[in-house]
């Protein structure tokens, strides 16, 4: 059973608006603003940024040269967390959700993924940042450096999977899911710097873009839900569509 959407001027309506604004103002806007500042600093070859990136890259490269096992581990992490694997994960999730009639949730996942892929391509072309260069590289990667597609897509995919799964989890399970959703893109991002194929700020930019985009599409999705007469949710604890997650998890049950 669904409930009617509260009028915008009522306390309930204002609380619903507050949920959406919180996602955008507290997550998306700061994330996108920082990414924009990094991009401007990169374009302007800002000296402090170059020093931070250069120092971190040199230290990580020396570590890689002296520890082959570390390199092999980072290669595995990087491969598992590649944009191809992460996008495939979200595509599979979206297809399963669609087949189980969780259509809104499937569309949200698909739109978030497609938006991320488009932003990644456009920013890489617009910024045109060169990747780190070493005389004895431990790994090579094609294309532009900013933002890190691995960091961006792993953060985005982790966010999508997290917000889908939260309604199915216990309180402890939700805590574990949040930890995992942070840890996966963190490790993937570190692997890209460790392998010498990205600057630190490329990875930070990717993380911020992933988190910001998931928050922005979640806010838009919440608006769509409420215009359909569904109650407001708290995405951080309930996910973006608890009723559709439950429907997909129990396809034999009728609404």
pLDDT digits (tens, 9 = 90+) for 71-123: 999 999 999 999 999 999 999 999 999 999 888 899 999 999 999 999 999 99
Residue 6 in domain: no
Structural domain includes residue 254: no
Cβ 59 vs Cβ 134: under 8 Å: no
The answer as to whether 134 is a domain residue is: yes
Closest CA to 22 of 235, 244, 240: 235
- The CA distance from 50 to 47, in Å, is 5
pTM of the model: 0.86
Report the range of poorest mean pLDDT among 27-31, 133-137, 243-247.
243-247
The total domain count for the chain is 1
pLDDT in tens, 135-171: 999 999 999 999 999 999 999 999 999 999 999 999 9
Is 132 a member of any domain? yes
Tokens 């294309």 belong to: 143
Residue 159 lies in a domain: yes
CA angle 122, 239, 104 (to 5 degrees): 65
Q: Is residue 150 part of a domain?
A: yes
In 164-226, the DSSP E strands lie at: none
The Cα–Cα gap between 159 and 31 comes to 14
Structural domain boundaries, residue 202: 11-249
Residue 155 within a domain: yes
- Any idea what the CATH number is for the domain that residue 190 is in? 1.20.144
The contacts of residue 171 (CB under 8 Å, 6+ apart) are none
126: left (phi over 0), alpha (psi -120 to 50) or beta: alpha
Asked whether residue 3 is domain-assigned, the answer is no
CA pair distance 212, 198, nearest whole angstrom: 21
What's the burial of 36, exposed, middle or buried (CB within 10 Å: 0-12/13-18/19+)?
exposed
């Amino acid at each position: 059973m669904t409930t009617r959407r509260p009028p915008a001027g009522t306390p309930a309506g204002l609380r619903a608006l507050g949920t959406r604004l919180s996602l955008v103002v507290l997550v998306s806007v700061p994330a996108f603003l920082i990414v924009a500042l990094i991009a401007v600093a990169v374009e302007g070859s800002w000296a402090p940024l170059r020093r931070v990136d250069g120092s971190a890259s040199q230290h990580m490269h020396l570590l890689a040269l002296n520890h082959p096992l570390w390199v092999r581990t980072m290669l595995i992490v990087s491969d598992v967390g590649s944009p191809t694997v992460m996008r495939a994960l979200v595509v599979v999730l979206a297809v399963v959700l669609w087949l189980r009639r969780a259509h809104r949730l499937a569309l949200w996942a698909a739109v978030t993924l497609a938006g991320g892929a488009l932003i990644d391509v456009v920013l890489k072309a617009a910024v045109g940042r060169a990747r780190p260069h070493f005389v004895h590289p431990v790994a090579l990667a094609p294309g532009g450096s900013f933002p890190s597609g691995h960091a961006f897509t792993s953060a985005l995919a982790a966010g999508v999977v997290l917000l889908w799964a939260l309604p199915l989890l216990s309180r402890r399970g939700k805590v574990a899911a949040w930890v995992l959703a942070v840890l996966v893109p963190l490790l993937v991002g570190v692997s890209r710097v460790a392998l010498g194929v990205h600057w630190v700020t490329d990875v930070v930019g990717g993380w911020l873009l992933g988190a910001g985009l998931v928050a922005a599409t979640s806010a838009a999705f919440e608006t769509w839900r409420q215009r359909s007469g569904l109650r407001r949710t708290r995405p951080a604890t309930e996910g973006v569509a608890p009723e559709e997650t439950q429907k997909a998890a129990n396809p034999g049950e009728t609404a």
